[in-house]
Amino acid sequence: MPRARNAAASTSRARSRRIARFRVWLTAAAFLLPAIIGLLILRIIPTVQAVGTSLTNQVGSFTFANFGYVFTDPAFLNALKVTLLFAIIINPIQIALALWLAVVLTKRVPGVGIWRTLILLPIAVPQIVSAIVWGVLFRPDGPLNGILESLGIAPVPWLVSPDTALLSIMIICTWVGVGYWMTFLVAGIKDIPSSLYEAAELDGAGGWKQFLYITLPGLRRPLLFVLVADTVANFLVFAPVRILTQGGPQGSTNLIMNFIFERAYTLADPAGAAAATIVLVLIVVCVVGVQFRLLPGKD
């Protein structure tokens, strides 16, 4: 009898543990379900549809011809070239400015709260609104050219010249992005123990040496995240181009997202747009993979 009671008690405890584990899993699943549904609807299903569309022709047959058309399309090759040039130039500029601002604004600067608010303000403004405001500033008779003329400098054809249009888009994207990336670097700097800086000061290390040997190594992981995320974001720039230049003049600002939009909705070629989208995703994955290989986040 005692053995039977012990066996029954052991079985009951095991059943209770299984029920408790099931409840934990059920609770976790309930919390994860909205995110999983969102991922499925907004990411996985559209990706599968894009792959399927890119591999079919107008009659629904399987084909790789859409990729052949894309790679032989001068407009796509130009968009790819412009996008790569855009990313190569703007990435280091944005990250360098964000890092400089993060270092400065973690010091005891007068009015640091006001400065942070002003720098972060563009994040709260929708990109469409930002593009419209900058479009007014960049007008031939706009405020920026008015300032230049008052200084005796010839007006700049910001958005109407192939030589300056891409630069103008870079200025807009930098204005929007720097404050956002700065927030991650500020958080990273605050995670660095202050005792390291105090010890460095006692050893006679100046501000530059502290930056090189304490701040930069301590920011390795945040910097890697910012580099990768900024790269992806710059490959996906769309709103300023679509609103201000539509890819012109002469294709000088035709970033690849604008090319995909025009292919899908202006030329009514969803298969070509899907093929270009798949190519864009593969390029971004390759670029990010190279960045991870060259800049490991290990301490």
pLDDT at 12: 64
Name the region of 15 (left: φ>0; alpha: ψ -120 to 50; beta: rest). Answer: alpha
pLDDT at 204: 82
Backbone φ, ψ for residue 214 (5° rounding) = -120, -55
What does the pLDDT profile of the chain (299 residues) look like in tens digits? 555 555 555 666 667 777 878 888 888 888 888 988 998 998 889 888 888 888 888 777 888 888 888 889 999 999 999 999 999 999 999 999 999 999 988 887 777 778 888 888 888 888 889 999 999 999 999 999 999 999 999 999 999 999 999 999 999 999 999 999 999 999 999 998 888 888 888 888 888 888 888 889 889 889 989 999 999 999 999 999 999 999 989 999 999 999 999 999 999 889 999 999 999 999 998 988 887 777 655 55
Give the span between the Cα atoms of 146 and 132, in whole angstroms.
Answer: 18
Q: Which two tokens stand for residue 23?
A: 């409840």
Please tell me the CATH superfamily of domain 70-292, with its number: MetI-like (1.10.3720.10)
Give the span between the Cα atoms of 111 and 49, in whole angstroms.
Answer: 51
pLDDT at 20: 77
pLDDT at 138: 94
The residues spanned by each domain of the chain are 1-54, 70-292
Write down the residue that tokens 């699943």 correspond to.
29
pTM: 0.84
Backbone φ, ψ for residue 119 (5° rounding) = -70, -35
Q: Which two tokens stand for residue 150?
A: 């008052």
